[in-house]
């Protein structure tokens, strides 16, 4: 598949397909969106929010979560605020998310089946990584969004004038519901 993508890319560049996407690094709407990496949202999310290329910084991960005050999602948001002028943040989870009810036991069995040894997993634990919490999902999407919004809005490096709001998007229709 990657070789097919590389072949397509050569044609895309040669035919100047990139020209309609040219913008700068600063989001026109001064907006950052933290959302899930779910494939159903690849085109649906920006379309449902009315965003075009260059409007917003879109940060994606499994579940659309900030799992700790200093994880990569939070780092990206801090950079977006201070380096790129972001003034508003939307946390957008979605219906029927695969991260809901995700847990380490599920991954553990899959890892063993794919050749990762328990010895390797024990070594990771000895380095201070709690795989149970690192690979834990969430039980309730509404609660998860509220928690992520709270982590961001109370973060000591997030200025009080940055608006942070949470939403759940229907992964079929794109309907957006705000979490208060």
Residues at the binding site for Zn(2+) are 36, 38, 94, 97
Q: What is the percent of the chain with per-residue pLDDT over 70, rounded to a whole number?
A: 100
Q: Give residue 179's pLDDT band: very low, low, confident or very high (50, 70, 90).
A: very high
Q: How far apart are CA 94 and CA 56, in angstroms?
A: 19
Mean pLDDT value across residues 45-63: 97
Boundaries of CATH 3.40.1050.10 in the chain? 27-97+140-180
Classify residue 46 as exposed, middle or buried by CB count within 10 Å of its CB (0-12, 13-18, 19+): middle
Of 111, 120, 166, the residue nearest 143 (C-alpha): 166
How do residues 105-158 score in pLDDT, each as one tens digit? 889 999 999 999 999 999 999 999 999 888 988 889 999 999 999 999 999 999
Q: Which helix (H) or strand (E) holds 58?
A: strand 56-61
Cβ atoms of residues 40 and 97 within 8 Å: no
Q: Give residue 166's pLDDT band: very low, low, confident or very high (50, 70, 90).
A: very high
How do residues 14-42 score in pLDDT, each as one tens digit? 999 999 999 999 999 999 999 999 999 99
How do residues 3-14 score in pLDDT, each as one tens digit? 999 999 999 999
Backbone region of residue 58 per phi and psi (left: phi > 0; alpha: psi in -120 to 50; beta: other values): beta
In the predicted model, is pLDDT for residue 52 greater than 90? yes
Q: What is the pLDDT of residue 14?
A: 97
Q: Tell me, which fold does domain 27-97+140-180 have in CATH? A: Beta-carbonic Anhydrase; Chain A (3.40.1050)
Q: What is the pLDDT of residue 4?
A: 97
Q: What is the pLDDT of residue 180?
A: 86
């Amino acid at each position: 598949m990657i070789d097919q993508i590389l072949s397509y890319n050569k044609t895309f560049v040669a035919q100047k397909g990139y020209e309609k996407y040219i913008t700068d690094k600063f989001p026109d709407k001064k907006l950052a969106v933290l959302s899930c990496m779910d494939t159903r949202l690849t085109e649906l999310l920006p379309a449902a929010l009315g965003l075009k290329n260059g409007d917003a910084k879109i940060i994606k991960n499994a579940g659309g979560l900030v799992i700790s005050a200093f994880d990569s999602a939070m780092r990206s948001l801090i950079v977006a605020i201070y380096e790129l002028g972001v003034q508003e943040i939307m946390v957008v989870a979605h219906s029927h998310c695969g991260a809901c009810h995700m847990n380490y036991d599920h991954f553990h069995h899959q890892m063993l089946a794919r050749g990762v040894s328990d010895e390797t997993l024990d070594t990771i634990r000895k380095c201070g990584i709690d795989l149970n919490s690192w690979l834990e999902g969430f039980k309730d999407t509404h609660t998860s969004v509220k928690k992520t919004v709270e982590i961001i809005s109370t973060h000591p490096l997030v200025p009080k004038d940055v608006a942070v709001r949470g939403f759940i998007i229907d992964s079929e229709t794109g309907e957006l519901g705000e979490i208060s």
